[in-house]
């Protein structure tokens, strides 16, 4: 593989990233064993397979197998060559050029050229596309095909995570001619990825077969894959125990010990990007006061939440929401794992909140970790003098009556950041323009910091700006960081060379094989 | 007979019409947003508006109903809000799966209920009767998903005889199909048998007290012959008529069992339709259950007529 980067920010960023992770990013040419069908288990149905529809995380783990992206991310979230065999960025950091591998084809046999790349991005840039990850591509001014193999992206602002964005499943390259002929990718995805899509039966399975024309020699190793959708956690665990399921990266925390203690089972529990935070409604009485929000943040016993709601399979967040494994992590130890009741009480007294003030905690009844952490949070709030009550609601009503109209005092939310870039952890939660900002908080200062951090030229600058943003977020305590869940992966020891990703993505399955 | 069939078929139309209206109304007045369920945490107000407009959810309910019913009559049930899958073909694929599951579970229930109910009714108010009645109460009050978990633990995880779940079409591999269906059918069948045992027992007792049994007894007919020639035949008519209701109930109650055993039938579709407020899926699944129950009732009426031709004009 030839990397023809010009010196400058791209190289600097890559070097710094490599340094941060301490791993060279190039996929090693290892000999594997061809054949076999991998049976993997997941808990939820996908929401369609068109990259432009802005679908769910479950859609993405299908999309990344069927389509290709210009770049790929390795297990340490470091970009490496996808269908672009080389890429470079101009000195101003605004113009990126990607050179495609020659002879690429889609699963329908048609050639994949620079025109398809241009079309794919114009499609998601269209304001009417409804693409949910628009914030990733909003700095793209134009995409130009220089010839069949070279495509240039002109940006209107330096975009720190640009390479990461180019490896995101939403940035998948779709076949222009096929889509223009009216083909519905959402039901029948056609790409150039390691696996062809065969079928999808809702609530049951997604079936893949090997793409024999995949551009990486020898890969993928499996003849095919079956993603089983098993919504009942116990049924998923039973399937793992009996050996009918080879693989899952959604092992239920309650069954983790029973599954990993089995013979012939390989397990990996890594801190991922699924983090939980408490949302205080800034428009509800005393919660508009940062002192009160900080008091609540200090009152919480995060260690108890990890034990009680996650069976120990999570890490308490003691400072900003960017996790420790990420290069954007700022070492700000604001909270103690057990909480600090005295400090919380002092903050509350300073705010002048009367003891016995009522406060309600609204939770989704069908999300086990939230139901388990509710009494712990309630007890902590009572300890500092609140008269705390728990309310619950089923999901569809919660979205409509609680989340959408910001109708709550306190609630808890989580999301799995699909990118390993620090921007993805903070902008969603803190930006005044974000749909996720149901706390109705944020400030111009915070927005400016996040934009500056995203657009800074060097990784050191970015890191410093994220540190400032994290500190500000703890001073204003717009939301209360709670815990970061682990990605619980277990698989048969017949599966070799699988490298789990912190985002829960499974692109690395193409490099694994069954013995 | 023909008149009965035609009469019944004619009464399908208004029944289905009313059922569809009630369902449509129920689905739509339940609180919760379909758009937010489909779009999730990142849904912007514009995206929600676009979704509701695209799916016609911003129009009056009556207009939505007429449109939906019109397309449904032509066999088009729309596409799922959650994924782009066409609902009609998906539901059609699942109906045989649920029918097989409910049918086999019904056979299990009947196989348990007939002998036990017969013995209990025949030996009315004896110790045997007490044991059977207790068993029936026990079976009937066991939650089927709990029994399912026990069965999986014993036969799949401990003994390793049967799979923990999953489904193979019968046409693909009959043995794998039956192996996969066995545990869910037992879990459903045992629980259903609780009610069926009682129905059989009552039916037998009723026959036992009738005049013709008295007459047969006085003529010196043996107990065995009495049972086989007179009691069973006469008790089975009320038994099957009443237990057909139980079959309809089975079709509707496979919801959780299908989830536990990963069987891609109608039940799991109903569940996901409710959880996600996926109206097209929920409506199509619920309507197909309605149609199945109506057809089963018709078949039962016909069968009852074959067994006892005196019940001629019941339907017309």
User: Could you give the C-alpha distances from A15 to A22, A24, A158, in angstroms and in order?
Assistant: 10, 10, 18
Q: Are residues B101 and B222 in the same domain?
A: yes
Q: Are residues B168 and B247 in the same domain?
A: yes
Paired residues of A143 in beta bridges? A153
**Smallest Cα distance from B63 to chain A, Å:** 23
Number of A/B CB contacts below 8 angstroms equals 129
Q: pLDDT above 70 covers what percent of chain B?
A: 97
CATH number of the domain encompassing residue B154: 1.10.3720.10
A432 touches chain B (CB under 8 A): no
Which of B31, B160, B165 minimises the CB distance to A400? B31
Distance CA A141, CA A138 (A): 8
pLDDT at B309: 65
User: Could you give the C-alpha distances from A498 to A264, A313, A490, A493, A494, in angstroms and in order?
Assistant: 15, 21, 11, 10, 10
- For residue B312, tell me if it sits in a domain: no
* Residue A454, CB-side half-sphere exposure with 13 Å CA sphere: 24
B159 touches chain A (CB under 8 A): no
3-class DSSP string for A254-296: HHHHHHHCCCCEEEEEEEEEEEEEEEECCCCHHHHCHHHHHHH
Q: Are residues B227 and B141 in the same domain?
A: yes
Q: Are residues B50 and B189 in the same domain?
A: no
Q: Are residues B68 and B144 in the same domain?
A: no
Distance CA B231, CA B242 (A): 17
Paired residues of A485 in beta bridges? A274, A314
CA closest to A54 among chain B residues: B39
Q: Are residues B137 and B253 in the same domain?
A: yes
CB contact (8 A) between residue B83 and residue A231: no
| Residue closest to A190 by CA, chosen among A290, A5, A51 | A51
CB contact (8 A) between residue A403 and residue B85: no
Q: Tell which A residues from 207 to 236 touch B, by Cβ distance under 8 Å.
A: 228, 230-232, 234-235
- For residue B190, tell me if it sits in a domain: yes
B215 touches chain A (CB under 8 A): no
Q: Which helix (H) or strand (E) holds A80?
A: strand A79-81
- pLDDT, tens digit, 9 for 90 and up, residues B199-256: 999 988 888 888 888 888 888 878 777 777 778 888 888 888 888 878 888 887 788 8
Domain boundary among B20, B45, B73: B73
Q: Which helix (H) or strand (E) holds B257?
A: helix B255-260
CB contact (8 A) between residue A234 and residue B36: no
Domain boundary among B51, B73, B95: B73
- For residue B174, tell me if it sits in a domain: yes
3-class DSSP string for A119-145: HHHHHHHCHHHCCCCHHHHCCEEEEEE
Distance CA B132, CA B126 (A): 10
Q: Phi and psi dihedrals of A159, rounded to 5?
A: -125, 100
pLDDT tens track of chain A, all 515 residues? 334 433 333 444 444 443 334 343 344 455 789 999 999 999 988 888 999 886 678 899 999 999 999 999 988 888 999 999 999 999 999 999 999 999 999 999 999 999 999 999 999 999 878 788 888 899 999 999 999 999 999 999 999 899 999 999 999 999 999 999 999 998 899 999 999 999 998 888 999 999 999 999 889 999 999 999 998 888 899 999 988 999 999 999 889 999 999 989 999 999 988 899 999 999 998 999 999 999 999 999 999 999 999 999 999 999 999 999 999 999 999 999 999 999 999 999 999 999 999 999 999 998 889 999 999 999 999 999 999 999 999 888 898 899 989 999 999 999 888 888 899 899 989 999 888 999 999 999 999 999 999 999 888 999 999 999 999 999 999 999 999 999 999 999 999 999 999 888 999 999 999 99
CB contact (8 A) between residue B164 and residue A242: yes
Q: Phi and psi dihedrals of A236, rounded to 5?
A: -65, -45
Q: Which helix (H) or strand (E) holds A485?
A: strand A480-492
Contacts of B261 in chain A (CB under 8 A): 235
pLDDT at A55: 67
| CB within 8 Å of A394: residues ≥ 6 apart | A364, A365, A366, B32, B275
CB contact (8 A) between residue A203 and residue B264: yes
Helix H segments across A138-223? 162-166, 176-180
C-alpha of B49 from chain center: 38
- Domain total in chain B: 2
3-state helix, strand, coil in chain B (%, to 5): 80, 0, 20
Distance CA A99, CA B12 (A): 64
Q: Which helix (H) or strand (E) holds A151?
A: strand A150-155
- For residue B258, tell me if it sits in a domain: yes
Among B42, B161, B276, the strongest candidate for a mutation testing the A interface, having the largest count of A CBs within 10 A, is: B42
Q: Tell which A residues from 332 to 361 touch B, by Cβ distance under 8 Å.
A: none
Contacts of A46 in chain B (CB under 8 A): 83
Which of A46, A50, A241 minimises the CB distance to B157? A241
pLDDT at A495: 95
**Smallest Cα distance from B90 to chain A, Å:** 8
**Smallest Cα distance from A163 to chain B, Å:** 23
The more confidently predicted of residues B19 and A140 is A140
Q: Are residues B67 and B96 in the same domain?
A: no
CB contact (8 A) between residue B85 and residue A200: yes
Distance CA A156, CA A291 (A): 39
B49 touches chain A (CB under 8 A): no
Q: Tell which A residues from 104 to 143 touch B, by Cβ distance under 8 Å.
A: 130, 132
What's the domain range around B59? 2-73
Distance CA A292, CA B177 (A): 60
CB contact (8 A) between residue A366 and residue B275: yes
Which of A130, A200, A202 minimises the CB distance to B47? A130
Among B54, B84, B156, B285, the strongest candidate for a mutation testing the A interface, having the largest count of A CBs within 10 A, is: B84
**Smallest Cα distance from A361 to chain B, Å:** 19
Q: Are residues B149 and B212 in the same domain?
A: yes
Q: Which helix (H) or strand (E) holds A298?
A: helix A290-299
B277 touches chain A (CB under 8 A): yes
- For residue B80, tell me if it sits in a domain: no
**Cβ-contact A423, A163 below 8 angstroms:** no
Q: Phi and psi dihedrals of A55, rounded to 5?
A: -85, -165
Contacts of A56 in chain B (CB under 8 A): 40
**Smallest Cα distance from B274 to chain A, Å:** 9
Q: From edge to edge, which strands make up the β-sheet containing A150-155?
A: A84-89, A95-100, A150-155, A140-145
Given the structure tokens 């069965």, which residue do they identify? B151
Q: Are residues B9 and B126 in the same domain?
A: no
Using 50, 70 and 90 to split pLDDT, how confident is the model at B311?
low
Q: Are residues B32 and B176 in the same domain?
A: no
Contacts of B33 in chain A (CB under 8 A): 396, 399-400, 404
Cβ neighbours, 10 Å, residue A283 = 11
pLDDT at A42: 95
Which of B43, B156, B160 minimises the CB distance to A435? B43
Q: Are residues B213 and B270 in the same domain?
A: yes
Q: Which helix (H) or strand (E) holds B118?
A: helix B87-122
Contacts of A231 in chain B (CB under 8 A): 259, 268, 272
Using 50, 70 and 90 to split pLDDT, how confident is the model at B310?
low
Dmax (CA) of chain A:
72
SS3 A505: coil
Contacts of A130 in chain B (CB under 8 A): 47, 50
Crossing angle of helices A444-455 and A459-476, in 10° steps, is 160
Contacts of A205 in chain B (CB under 8 A): 264
Two tokens, residue A491:
């698989």
**Smallest Cα distance from A237 to chain B, Å:** 10
- For residue B149, tell me if it sits in a domain: yes
ipTM over 0.90: no
CB contact (8 A) between residue B41 and residue A394: no
Domain boundary among B31, B47, B73: B73
Interior angle at CA A413, CA A408 and CA A419, nearest 5: 145
**Smallest Cα distance from A200 to chain B, Å:** 8
CA closest to B261 among chain A residues: A235
CB contact (8 A) between residue B164 and residue A238: yes
Q: Are residues B63 and B103 in the same domain?
A: no
Contacts of B146 in chain A (CB under 8 A): none
Dmax (CA) of chain B:
85
Which of B33, B83, B149 minimises the CB distance to A48? B83
**Cβ-contact A196, A175 below 8 angstroms:** no
- For residue B16, tell me if it sits in a domain: yes
- pLDDT, tens digit, 9 for 90 and up, residues B125-147: 889 899 999 999 999 999 988 99
- For residue B278, tell me if it sits in a domain: yes
pLDDT at A31: 79
User: Could you give the C-alpha distances from B152 to A40, A117, B242, in angstroms and in order?
Assistant: 20, 50, 31
Distance CA A296, CA A386 (A): 10
């Amino acid at each position: 593989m030839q990397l023809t980067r010009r010196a400058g920010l791209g190289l600097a960023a890559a070097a710094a990233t490599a340094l941060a992770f301490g791993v060279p990013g190039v996929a090693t040419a290892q000999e594997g064993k061809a054949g076999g069908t991998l049976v993997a288990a997941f808990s939820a149905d996908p929401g369609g397979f068109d990259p432009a529809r802005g679908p769910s995380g479950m859609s993405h783990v299908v999309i990344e197998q069927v389509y290709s992206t210009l770049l790929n991310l390795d297990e340490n979230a470091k970009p490496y060559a996808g269908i672009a065999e080389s890429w470079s960025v101009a000195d101003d950091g605004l113009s990126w050029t990607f050179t495609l591998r020659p002879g690429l084809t889609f699963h329908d046999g048609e050639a994949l050229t620079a025109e398809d790349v241009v079309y794919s991005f114009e499609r998601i840039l269209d304001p009417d596309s409804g693409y949910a990850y628009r914030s990733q591509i909003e700095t793209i001014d134009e995409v130009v095909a220089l010839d069949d193999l070279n495509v240039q992206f002109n940006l209107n602002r330096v975009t720190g995570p640009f390479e990461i964005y180019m490896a995101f499943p939403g940035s998948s390259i779709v076949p222009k001619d096929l889509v223009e002929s009216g083909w519905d990718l959402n039901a029948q995805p056609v790409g150039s990825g390691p696996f062809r899509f065969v079928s999808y039966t809702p609530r049951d399975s997604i079936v893949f077969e090997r793409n024999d024309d995949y551009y990486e020699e020898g890969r993928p190793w499996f003849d095919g894959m079956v993603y089983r959708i098993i919504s009942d956690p116990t049924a998923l665990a039973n399937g793992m125990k009996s050996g009918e399921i080879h693989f899952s990266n959604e092992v239920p925390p309650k069954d983790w010990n029973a599954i990993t203690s089995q013979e012939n089972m390989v397990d990996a529990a890594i801190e991922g990007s699924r983090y939980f935070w408490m949302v205080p409604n800034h428009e509800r009485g005393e919660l508009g006061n940062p002192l009160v929000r900080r008091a609540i943040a200090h009152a919480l016993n995060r260690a108890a939440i990890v034990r009680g709601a996650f069976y120990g399979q999570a890490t308490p967040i003691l400072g900003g929401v960017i996790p420790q494994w990420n290069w954007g992590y700022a070492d700000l130890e604001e909270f103690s794992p057990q909480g600090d009741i005295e400090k919380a009480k002092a903050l509350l007294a300073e705010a002048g909140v009367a003891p016995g003030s009522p406060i309600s905690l609204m939770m989704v009844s069908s999300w086990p970790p939230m139901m388990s952490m509710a009494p712990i949070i309630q007890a902590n709030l009572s300890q500092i003098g609140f008269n705390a009550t728990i309310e619950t609601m089923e999901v569809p009503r919660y979205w409509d009556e609680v989340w959408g109209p910001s109708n709550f005092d306190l609630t808890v939310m989580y999301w799995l950041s699909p990118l390993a870039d620090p921007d993805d952890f903070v902008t969603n939660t803190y930006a005044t323009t974000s749909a996720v900002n149901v706390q109705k908080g944020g400030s111009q200062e915070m927005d400016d910091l996040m934009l500056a951090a995203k657009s800074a030229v060097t990784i050191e600058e970015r890191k410093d700006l994220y540190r400032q943003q994290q500190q500000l977020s703890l001073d204003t305590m717009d939301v209360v960081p709670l815990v970061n869940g682990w990605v619980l992966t277990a698989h048969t020891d017949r599966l070799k060379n699988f490298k789990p990703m912190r985002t829960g993505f499974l692109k690395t399955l193409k490099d694994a094989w069954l013995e | 007979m023909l008149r009965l069939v035609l009469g019944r078929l004619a009464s399908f139309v208004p029944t289905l019409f009313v059922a569809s209206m009630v369902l449509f109304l129920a689905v739509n007045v339940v609180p919760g947003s379909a758009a937010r369920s489909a779009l999730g945490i990142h849904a912007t107000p514009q995206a929600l508006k676009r979704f509701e407009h695209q799916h016609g959810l911003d129009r009056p309910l009556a207009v939505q109903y007429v449109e939906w019913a019109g397309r449904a009559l032509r066999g088009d049930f729309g596409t799922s809000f959650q994924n782009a899958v066409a609902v009609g073909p998906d539901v059609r694929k699942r109906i045989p799966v649920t029918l097989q599951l409910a049918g086999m579970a019904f056979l299990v229930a009947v196989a348990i209920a007939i002998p036990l109910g017969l013995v209990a009714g025949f030996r009315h108010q004896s110790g045997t009767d007490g044991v059977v009645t207790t068993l029936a109460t026990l079976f009937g009050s066991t939650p089927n998903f709990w029994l399912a978990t026990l069965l999986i633990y014993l036969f799949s995880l401990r003994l390793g005889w049967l799979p923990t779940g999953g489904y193979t079409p019968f046409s693909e591999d009959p043995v794998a199909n039956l192996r996969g269906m066995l545990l869910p059918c037992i879990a459903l069948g045992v629980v259903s048998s609780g009610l069926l045992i009682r129905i059989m027992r009552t039916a037998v007792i009723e026959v036992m007290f009738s005049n013709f049994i008295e007459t047969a007894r006085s003529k010196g007919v043996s107990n065995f012959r009495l049972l086989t020639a007179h009691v069973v035949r006469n008790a089975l008519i009320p038994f099957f008529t009443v237990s057909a209701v139980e079959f309809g109930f089975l079709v509707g109650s496979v919801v959780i069992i299908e989830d536990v055993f990963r069987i891609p039938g109608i039940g799991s579709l109903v569940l996901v339709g409710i959880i996600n407020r996926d109206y097209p899926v929920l409506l199509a699944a619920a309507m197909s259950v309605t149609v199945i129950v109506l057809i089963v009732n018709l078949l039962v009426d016909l069968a009852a007529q074959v067994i006892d031709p005196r019940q001629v004009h019941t339907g017309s």
